[in-house]
Structure 1
Amino acid sequence: MPLRREPTERQKRLGTELRRLRDAAGLKAREAGELLGVSSVQISQIEIALAGVSEARLRRLAGHYRCTDEDLIDALVRLATDRTRGWWEEYRWLLPTPFLDLAELEHHATFLREVGFLFVPGPLQTEDYARAVFSYRVPELPPKELELRVQHRMRRKECLRETPYEAVVHEAALRIMVSDRAASRAQLDHLLHLADADNITVRVIPLDLEGFAGAASAMVYAGGTVPRLDTVARDAPHGTAFIDSEDQLSAFRTLFRKVEDASLDPDQSRDFIHRLTKER
């Protein structure tokens, strides 16, 4: 089979986990290849996601690597054999790849936790709010690309249908009027509407909270089918950064707990947002 032209983050994650298992077993790529009856080059291509791996070969590799975590192995098999072509594929070659990778991450997540300090989280944004955010980009986007990004962001709302979703939003993000007053009011009303869903929780951190220094904690935390496959997505200078090392994931779990503990409970948050709508 031809090598992949542009592996997705999901495919890269599978390769990363297989490399981690090999490293933990103390084997070189050449030794792993000999055990599987392939070359070290083929092992490397699998680990950097340029090539796929069958379920049979993956399970053989896991056995050679002395991995006894059956839940992890089954989860890796699902990664290797998944052939889902979700709605985001319509935007391939039209939008930057991280847009597609983030949508795919959200689609497969077992739960989502998001923290926003300057902007309302993407899946919670109205169309007018999203358009205002993208319109402010420098250099300016051509009209067609701007509308594609807005469409893509609106379709990301599909992750809110059933996936447990918790957002912690700072009051600053709720007060900054990225568009006009009417659009800001509509955004607040939209948050109140979404918060009625059983699977969606919205929490607010008020500006006057004392002792809060966590404003650098903005993130999307996506739960994997096993905790080891959790992923954090963060904005970076050149796009979205996807974080998956266990030490970093552990740190972000702690950060989310701290931010969540600092926020108002859902009922208080709803009342808080409702009061803000009266100011618009």
Structure 2
Amino acid sequence: MAPRKQPSERQRRLGVELRKLRTSAGISGDQAAALLDADRARISNIEAGRIDVTRNRLYMLLREYGCPPGALFDGLMAMAQESGKGWWDGFRDVVAPVASDLAELESRSTLVRMHEPLFVPGMLQTEGYARAVIAETESDPQRVERFVAFRVARQRVLTRDKPVAYRAVIHESALRAHIGGPGVMRKQLSRLIEAARLPNVTVQIFPYEAGAYSAYSRSFVILGGATPELDTVYLEHPHNSAFLRDGGHVDEYAKMFERLSQLALAPVDPDAAPESHEARDSLSVIQHALYTT
């Protein structure tokens, strides 16, 4: 089989982790190739995600590379076993490969942490809000509806069996934006409160009065893997979205998220009695925006 030209993020990540383990073990590419009775080019293609490695061969490599039994070993084995096929394949006619990769990562994440300074996160958007946002950059009505359907489909990970744990820190400015008109915004703000009722969803609002913080203008997502070594950061940009896999970068964003969470208001707790809201919290801010929109 010819090497693939566009590996998925999962395939690239598996290759990156194998290269890291091989070099840490002091094993050359030629030595690794000899273990598989293959040529050096095959190892290069596996480590670039251009070709797959069977479970038996991956098991052999991980043992030879000194990867101990545990979450990392099992996580890498699972990554090799996954086909990469999913509902997102039905949207490849409109969404970029990076969006399909994001959907695949979300589908197998254990925890998703999201910071959004400008918009309500896609995972929590109503169809009307998503339509208004997408229509700003897409003029074809049919394509807009396809993008909306893709965004809504991504949200299923929050309500499926064994749902993904989801934490969002949203800047207060996102609640005050006039996107799609007052009716759309009111439904969106109500949706935020409804989503926060899910036991796996935590919503916090970062208020204006919290002061300046370097992460204000940075939208980012941390996608939790089977083990922290397999966590990934996703940075969205209109022309150059990127996945960060380096442990140092991931740690940096994880610390940034925790700092944002500390500075943000207390999480939305829709079940709390009204008299418990003596101090300003996330729910009171959303409700105020809802009633004044």
TM-score range, shorter chain: over 0.9
**Structure 2 residue runs without a partner (length 5+):** 270-280
CA displacement at 1:272 relative to structure 2: 1.4
Which runs of structure 2 are paired with 1:107-146 in the superposition (5 Å)? 107-137=107-137, 140-146=138-144
Distance 1:88 1:239 in 2: 20
8 Å CA contact 1:95, 1:145 repeated in 2: no
The two structures have a TM-score, normalised by structure 1, of 0.94
- State the shift of 1:159 in Å: 1.6
- Structure 1 equivalent of residue 286 of structure 2: 273
- The structure-2 alpha-carbon separation of the partners of 1:29 and 1:236, relative to structure 1 and needing over 3 Å to count, comes to farther
Q: Which residue of 1 aligns with 2:148?
A: 150
Instruction: Decide which moves more: 78-87 or 169-178.
Output: 78-87
Aligned to 2:63: 63
Task: Give the Cα–Cα distance (whole angstroms) in 2 for the partners of residues 113 and 127 of structure 1.
Answer: 22
Name the Cα RMSD after superposition: 1.5
Which runs of 5 or more residues in structure 1 are unaligned? none
Partner of 2:25: 25
Identity between Structure 1 and Structure 2 (%): 36
Residue correspondence of structure 1 range 1-280 to structure 2 within 5 A: 1-83=1-83, 85-137=85-137, 140-161=138-159, 162-266=163-267, 267=269, 268-280=281-293
> How many angstroms does 1:228 deviate by?
0.4
1:216 aligned counterpart, secondary structure: coil
The 8 Å contact of residues 94 and 147 in structure 2, kept in 1 or not, is answered as no
Q: How far, CA to CA, are the matches of 2:101 and 2:59 in structure 1?
A: 26
Q: Which SS does the other structure have where 2:67 is aligned?
A: coil
Post-superposition CA distance 1:55-108 (Å, at most 9, x none): 111111112222225321111010001125221111124321111111111110
Name segments (4+ residues, structure 1) moved above 3 Å. Answer: none
Residues 136-184 of structure 1 deviation map (CA, whole Å, 9 limit, x = unaligned): 11xx442222221111001111121121111100001111112111111
- Relative to structure 2, which stretch is displaced further, 68-77 or 253-262? 68-77
8 Å CA contact 1:212, 1:262 repeated in 2: no
Range moving further from structure 2, 27-36 or 245-254: 27-36
SS of the residue 2:150 aligns to:
helix
